[in-house]
Amino acid sequence: MKKNKYHRLETPRLSLRKLEVTDWETVSYLRSDKLVNQFVRRANADTREKALAFIERTNLQISNDDLFSWCISLKKAPAMIGSITLWNLSADSTCAEVGYDLKPEFQKQGIMSEALLAVLAFGFGELELQKIEAYTERRNEASRKLLLSNGFLFNEERKDEENSENMIFEIYRPL
């Protein structure tokens, strides 16, 4: 993987950028809301302090090339509406995991699909990853549909050791 490749991504409707301190309220919402997190096990950010610490930690990990994370916003309205991250990079830098979240009022509009395609292009092109994985809870039908419609395949032979309810999807670098 090439180092120091993080940059802003643009799609026809979206701007994908680093988290900023001003995003703390949306970060707090996305990481703490019961509906958004119904299928996800992760630490919440239910206070301003926790959200700001998350933003600081994320941006430090970006500067260290430990992960690549973007705030999702509409070009016509720069407020954060979601996030998408390539993280859990393999030791040999050939594989990463993708994770994402989106405010419910922006779901079912193709926004996450558009963001995911941009991040896949970045991961396979800029980072030269060979494989990108996604772990999603089996009851999360919307996430499964998103992954399958964007070329991911369910690997029924792999199991998530930390969460038996997760399914593992994979997509390989195009030839």
Binned average pLDDT, 10 residues per bin, the chain of 175 residues: 77 97 96 87 90 96 94 96 96 96 96 98 96 96 97 96 93 92
CB-based contact 82:106 (threshold 8 Å):
yes
Taking the C-alpha atoms of residue 48 and residue 57, their distance in angstroms, rounded to an integer, is: 14
pLDDT at 2: 47
pTM of the predicted model as reported, rounded to 2 decimal places: 0.93
Radius of gyration of the chain measured on its C-alpha atoms: 15
pLDDT at 38: 83
Q: How many other C-beta atoms can be found within 10 angstroms of the C-beta atom of residue 156?
A: 8
Taking the C-alpha atoms of residue 9 and residue 7, their distance in angstroms, rounded to an integer, is: 6
pLDDT at 4: 64
Two tokens, residue 81: 């509406």
Domain limits of the chain? 9-172
CB-based contact 28:47 (threshold 8 Å):
yes
What 8-state DSSP symbol labels residue 111? H
- In CATH, what is the architecture of 9-172? 3-Layer(aba) Sandwich (3.40)
